[in-house]
Amino acid sequence: MTKKKQRQRMKEYLVEGLRAGSASKVEHHTNNQFFQDFEYTLIEVDDSYVFLVDQEFTGNKFERLFLRTRGDRLNAAFIVLKDGKTFFRSAAQKNQFKRRYNLSLKEYSPEEIQRLMTLRPEEVLLSERNRVVQYYQPESERLQEGLVNVRFTPAQYDYSHLPAGRFRPSNRESTKRFICNLGELFQGPFNIQKPTERDLTLASFLVSAA
């Protein structure tokens, strides 16, 4: 399936799932309702918004959009397209040698390296601010269509294999490589779950309707 078809199916799937839930109003828009200089797709659900992260946002456009929703105190969910190319990109193959040859990822198990991902800035921001990144997962030969919540932990680089001295880098957290922990798959119908009073910092996200 092409990227254009994936984006179209993502929008259709979310609209269908939300209309099957308890919302009384579900409308999708491709407009510049919040900003004049770039476009994005959103779904209006009663008094809430679902933003589709189905494309690269260059520069600081996504950060501006995200912070605008927080500044305006909007109940806003962000759903990322799990295409494995632009978003949710595996970093396992390119980094296996760093574990195998006792290099900077030597403390990780083979299974953990298989869950190593390279994240785009949009995913990093959502992971840092929301603690959960929610993806739309297209149907494939191996996977079912649905929504999946993912938690990410920054990869820890350990340089103790290098001789101590002025040229050995300090151990550090990666800003681009993360270990993913997949949650359960939701397949609708969907409702918007709003932050609880106990956890007002957590952005809303889609969950299966009861």
* Mean pLDDT within 135-146: 95
Q: Specify the pLDDT at position 35.
A: 75
pTM recorded for the entire structure = 0.89
Residue entry with tokens 């079912």: 144
30 pLDDT above the threshold of 90: no
151 pLDDT above the threshold of 50: yes
Residue 178 gets which letter from DSSP?
Answer: E
* Mean pLDDT within 54-65: 93
Query: How far apart, in whole angstroms, are the C-alpha atoms of residue 201 and residue 196?
Result: 9
Cβ 174 vs Cβ 155: under 8 Å: yes
Phi (first) and psi of residue 6, to 5 degrees: -65, -45
Pick the residue with more confidence: 11 or 198?
11
The pair of three-digit structure tokens given for residue 121, joined into one six-digit string: 């800035």
16 pLDDT above the threshold of 60: yes
Q: Specify the pLDDT at position 93.
A: 87
Query: How far apart, in whole angstroms, are the C-alpha atoms of residue 205 and residue 76?
Result: 8
Cβ 148 vs Cβ 119: under 8 Å: no
pLDDT band at 75 (very low <50, low <70, confident <90, very high): confident
pLDDT band at 198 (very low <50, low <70, confident <90, very high): very low
**29-43, 47-61, 98-112, 159-173: which has the highest mean pLDDT?**
47-61
45 pLDDT above the threshold of 50: yes
Query: How far apart, in whole angstroms, are the C-alpha atoms of residue 7 and residue 43?
Result: 13
- Residue ranges of the domains in the chain? 3-92+127-154+182-208
Q: Specify the pLDDT at position 210.
A: 46
Query: How far apart, in whole angstroms, are the C-alpha atoms of residue 161 and residue 168?
Result: 9
* Mean pLDDT within 66-76: 86
201: Cα separation from own chain's centroid: 17
**What string of DSSP letters covers 179-199?**
EEEEEEEE-S-EEEEPPPGGG
Residue entry with tokens 């921001």: 125
150 pLDDT above the threshold of 70: yes
